[in-house]
Amino acid sequence: MASLEQAPPSADGPTDILAVANSPVIWLCALGVFAAIFVQSLVYMRAARTAGPEVGMSRADLRNAYRAGAVASIGPSLAVVLVAVALLALFGTPAVLVRVGLIGSASTEVASAGIATGTVGVTLGGPGYDPSVFALAFIAMSLSGGMWMLATLLLTPCSNAAGRSWGR
């Protein structure tokens, strides 16, 4: 695996970027993010199972709600997948999978990357879009997505506590 500093310049710059973007280290990071998403999903499903009886939902009602949510998410997910396919050439497979799996909003991800690359005077996929600019865009997208995940993990319990105290 070549580091960002060692990537030789070439006329077909995206090839260099894809070599970095599809490196084993990025794939390992992607697997770590998917593991965190999986654990987070289990935590929320467990919380729903615990809170269900308090709001009058049986296990069968919860199972139906999970199924309805899964079916209802198919349509919006298709739009995100179509945009994700277009982003593969810019960011590589693991980065796109993580971005879509973590946030699910291609517009947020492209905006983060566009703002980051714009700070160094480069447009996404345009002239000057080299591995170092890719790294900048990837870090910006990761910080953006990471903050959403952190906010969800920290603020959900706070909102639950606030809801309980307001309901008294």
Contact 138, 95 (CB under 8 A): yes
**Per-residue pLDDT, 15:** 53
Residues in the chain with pLDDT < 70?
1-15, 101-104, 167-168
Q: What local confidence, expressed as pLDDT, does residue 102 receive?
A: 65
Concatenate the DSSP letters of all residues of 27-78 into one string.
HHHHHHHHHHHHHHHHHHHHHHHHHTGGGT--HHHHHHHHHHHHHHTHHHHH
CA distance 146 to 135: 16
pLDDT of residue 85: 84
Please report the pLDDT score of residue 19 as a whole number.
84
CA distance 115 to 122: 10
Residue 16 contacts residue 131 (beta carbons within 8 Å): yes
Q: Domain segments of the chain: what residues?
A: 13-166
Residue 4: per-residue pLDDT? 41
| pLDDT value, residue 81 | 80
Convert the pLDDT of each residue in 90-108 to its tens digit.
Answer: 888 888 887 776 666 777 8
| Single-letter amino acid, residue 89 | A
3-state class percentages of the chain: helix first, strand second, coil last, to nearest 5: 80, 0, 20
Rg over CA atoms, the chain: 20
